[in-house]
Structure 1
Amino acid sequence: MSRINVMQPWLGQAEIDAVAEVISSGWVAQGPRVAQFEREFAQSQQVAHAVAVSSCTTALQLALVVAGVSAGDDVVVPSFSFIATANAPVYVGARPVFADVDPLTGNLSAETLLAALTPATTAVIAVDQGGVPVDLDAIRAVTDPLGIVVIEDAACGVGSVYRGRPVGAGADLTAWSFHPRKILTTGEGGMLTSPHQELADRARRLREHAMSVSAADRHANTLAPAEEYTEVGYNFRMTDLQAAVGIVQLERLPVVVERRREIAAVYSAAIASIPGLRAVADPEWGTSNFQSFWVEVGYPYPLDRDELLTALANADISARRGIMASHRQPAYRDRSTGEASLAVTDQLTDSTLILPIYHELTGDDQDRVIRVLRFGAGLS
């Protein structure tokens, strides 16, 4: 049997040709391909401005900075998320305050947010976990009257839909990831989007050391204009090599999402007949891109989560434990991170796993995965 990976990017000759063209041009750093990728990404996500950066983590950090979050502030974040969500507030001197999540979607909800708010809360990071769209309107109904900014962490969300629009379109600031485990990849890389010109303009300067004149503008002139550094900035730039891959990947996005939803539908139908397993599903307010397909393992399934992971591994199938509980990681175990109950986070972290899902997963390979799930339940 050949190994079935939990995830693999869909890359081909078109990406190779795009990178070769950039190398031949002689302009490999941030330049015209980055600008093109920003324009096309903004258009696809139905948002006015897009700022390409080096990762989703740096996009989250920039979002907090341009939103005015600073030392002494509290930022509510779900613990049920990759640790970068919690790290970003620390980078700007703020305190991440952990909130619990909805048991069905794995996302922050209005109720769990209310339980975590503090008098010092100035921002909330709401995550589209695994591609499941967060109910942004419900969260903003809590935050907007309080003057609290909402930053959407759409690291997993490209191609997901919230109330008829792409996720992130309704947020003041949204951060995106193009890591290889995401369905649109540039190798490493990220994007910050916003409907607000002033926020995007400042983020664009800050990602490039806060220079008053961009590197692209300086290199376009034989006699480069003098630049000023208007504040302390960062080196969070994306390269044209990465952007060239992203432009091709963006063209593939509708086909990729359609295929992943087909795979998810097959999994969901099979799991519905296996007592004790629950598959992640679309919420009533939108549709998921199924960046991850996670399953909750519970009674009366005969195996626990870790035993099922072992059974899959014995069949040469690479699955993964579900989303981490950031509050249980050593980096946050001894920090002050709020007092809200995180019971659902603990339960989901201990009982969920992620099944293989990627564009080129074959029907035979998916059948192998499902057979292990059924065999673990004592079904033929």
Structure 2
Amino acid sequence: MIPIAKPFLTEEEAQAAYDTILTGWITQGPRVQEFEEKFAAYTGAKYAVAVSNCTTALHLSMIVAGIGPGDEVICPSMSYIATANSIKYVGATPVFAEVQPETYNLDIADVEKRITKRTKAILLVHQIGMPADIDAFQELCDRYGLRLIEDAACAAGSAYKGKKIGSHSDIVCFSFHPRKVISTGDGGMITTNSQDHFERLKLLRQHGMSVNDRVRHESVKMIFEDHIEIGYNYRMTDIQAAVGIKQLEKLDWIVEERRKVAAAYIAAFQDIDCVRLPLEKNGYFSNYQSFSIYLKQNCLVERNTLMQELLQRGVATRRGIMTSHRETAYKNLMPNIELPISQDLQDRSIILPLFVPMTSEEVETVSNHFAQTVTAASICS
């Protein structure tokens, strides 16, 4: 079976975790600080704050952005459910907007139509690694007095107008889940150019503690901490951070390898009339966290039938990006929402295997089985 994804972890990461365990410092400590500093430098942001996962990163971002009960935050429904959940965590309301069919990213015209007096922020997702138009959304936020928060869960290593994702706005959230381009097992990072956000995020991730463990451990004088505000236990461990440091060193190479696989898929499928391939506009640079293909209306094989056929041929696939408003939790909370573009994209998209290292033979196998199944349906008709 060719899997849909798998993390690229080597003996270097294993050794880094092993060495860290032997130091005796395994929770948030010096390796976390090192990972934060190196990740900030990589993205071009002034600061970075490591947390337990991207969902907790989004939650803390809502808090530091001042979002709370009665507020609305516009976001795509077409995103993993954590995007919308993070808004609910602070008592605010997610307002789902449509996406662009070609990129799966938010449609700015539809977003503007949904702005009300209660709108406090726009949560902009860089879907499956393809950058959204940050400048356009920042201009829209500035015009209406809104906060821009970037959900870059899938976008480590992607770039927009020549700059890595992570430095364009004041709050950007990343994921290191195993399905992402680099992984720490689980984990997340928030980058920011705001020192105020940086200081408060560090407080909030560790129960609002005024002095962290590392500072107390290294102090030659007695220090008694205070808990300044209600916070959370959203810390990353030093074991995870040690793995993350090694992963970060390889990130550009991993992205380069993923782009080679994506290019091979595009070359293999470009002449199949009934599919729409990913669109990477000029100035946009995707890490191809996932490779999603849309089956047009003239495609004579149903998406689920295609997925089953590929599975029987030894190729794992996934359905298109989920639409949160059609999940049971949100159908109960917010019934009767209709987003026809997002719904159609989910129902007619298929995500193909893409991971590092993926051999040329594996890429060819996936490409051939996909093309043969789609072509056979056209011939049989």
Q: What TM-score, normalized by structure 1, do the two folds share?
A: 0.97
1:351 aligns with 2:348: yes
1:73-103 CA-partner distances (Å, limit 9, x unpaired): 1011100000000000110111111111011
| Shift in Å, 1:243 | 0.1
**SS state at 1:334 partner:** helix
CA–CA separation in structure 2 for the residues paired with 1:265 and 1:257: 12
1:335-375 CA-partner distances (Å, limit 9, x unpaired): 24897x52110110100011000011111111111111111
Partner of 2:101: 103
**SS state at 2:375 partner:** coil
CA–CA separation in structure 2 for the residues paired with 1:26 and 1:215: 13
**SS state at 2:281 partner:** coil
Partner of 1:367: 364
Q: Is the 8 A contact 2:277 2:292 kept in 1?
A: yes
1:198 alignment partner, one of 192, 196, 199 = 196
Q: Is the 8 A contact 1:42 1:48 kept in 2?
A: yes
**SS state at 1:378 partner:** helix
| Shift in Å, 1:285 | 3.3
CA–CA separation in structure 2 for the residues paired with 1:297 and 1:267: 15
Q: Is the 8 A contact 1:302 1:376 kept in 2?
A: no
| Shift in Å, 1:273 | 1.4
Partner of 2:236: 238
**SS state at 1:106 partner:** coil
Return the letter of the residue paired with 2:36.
Answer: E
**SS state at 2:358 partner:** coil
Q: Is the 8 A contact 1:109 1:139 kept in 2?
A: no
Partner of 1:84: 82
| Shift in Å, 1:24 | 1.1
Q: Is the 8 A contact 2:306 2:374 kept in 1?
A: no
1:171-212 CA-partner distances (Å, limit 9, x unpaired): 110000000000110001000110000011100111000111
Q: Is the 8 A contact 1:113 1:139 kept in 2?
A: no
Q: Is the 8 A contact 1:98 1:338 kept in 2?
A: no
1:233-283 CA-partner distances (Å, limit 9, x unpaired): 000000000000000000000110000000000101111111211111212
Partner of 2:167: 169
Task: Give the aligned length.
Answer: 377
Distance change in 2, residues 1:155/1:337 (3 Å) = farther
Q: Is the 8 A contact 1:95 1:337 kept in 2?
A: no
Partner of 1:271: 269
1:217-296 alignment runs, 5 A limit = 217-221=215-219, 223-296=221-294
Partner of 1:188: 186
1:334-349 alignment runs, 5 A limit = 334-336=332-334, 342-349=339-346
**SS state at 2:245 partner:** helix
Partner of 1:378: 375
Q: Which runs of 4+ in 1 moved over 6 A?
A: none
Q: Is the 8 A contact 1:298 1:304 kept in 2?
A: no
CA–CA separation in structure 1 for the residues paired with 2:320 and 2:373: 18
CA–CA separation in structure 2 for the residues paired with 1:45 and 1:32: 20
Partner of 2:137: 139
Gaps of 5+ in 1: none
Partner of 1:300: 298
CA–CA separation in structure 1 for the residues paired with 2:137 and 2:35: 30
Report percent identity of matched pairs.
42
| Shift in Å, 1:298 | 1.9
CA–CA separation in structure 1 for the residues paired with 2:261 and 2:45: 29
Partner of 2:153: 155
CA–CA separation in structure 2 for the residues paired with 1:378 and 1:322: 21
CA–CA separation in structure 2 for the residues paired with 1:378 and 1:99: 35
**SS state at 2:268 partner:** helix
Partner of 2:120: 122
Q: Is the 8 A contact 1:276 1:301 kept in 2?
A: yes
| Shift in Å, 1:222 | 5.8
1:30 alignment partner, one of 22, 28, 31 = 28
CA–CA separation in structure 2 for the residues paired with 1:87 and 1:154: 16
Q: Is the 8 A contact 1:51 1:200 kept in 2?
A: yes
CA–CA separation in structure 2 for the residues paired with 1:362 and 1:279: 21
Return the letter of the residue paired with 1:374.
Answer: A
Return the letter of the residue paired with 1:371.
Answer: N
CA–CA separation in structure 2 for the residues paired with 1:21 and 1:70: 42
